[in-house]
Amino acid sequence: MAEDKFADEMLSDDELDQIAGGTYNQTTDDNMFLYEYGLVDVVVCDSSKDVDAGWAKAGITCVTKPFSDNQYFIGGKSISRNEAYDIVKSKFKKIRNVEDAGLQFCVPDS
């Protein structure tokens, strides 16, 4: 069957994380995720520096890229986005929900 033919060619979530997504949307999603764990103070922000600073609070270096996938590192070792999310979930308690906060916008960097 067609499903069997492609079963061996399916990518895992970690593999997809390395090739799909990225850009502005990925940084915005990271911002909302980090907000829920208290690592950034705004719900929606187009400022990469705020997202990078939020990841740094969790011990993760993030290189945000406007036209490519963000990159995540711990101790100079590259990790997947899913791994970065799992680290935050294991080290921090979720303290708020994006939906409950309403929309907050930051002023774009000049």
What is the per-residue pLDDT for 18? 45
Give the 3-state secondary structure of residue 44.
strand
pLDDT tens-place string over residues 34-48: 999 999 987 765 678
Is residue 28 predicted with pLDDT exceeding 90? no
Rounded-to-integer distance, Cα 35 and Cα 44, Å? 9
Q: Tokens 């499903």 map to which residue?
A: 3
45 CB-near residues (< 8 Å, 6+ apart): 28, 31, 51, 105, 106
What is the per-residue pLDDT for 109? 47
pLDDT tens-place string over residues 54-63: 999 999 999 9
| Contact call for residues 72 and 84 (beta carbons, < 8 A) | yes
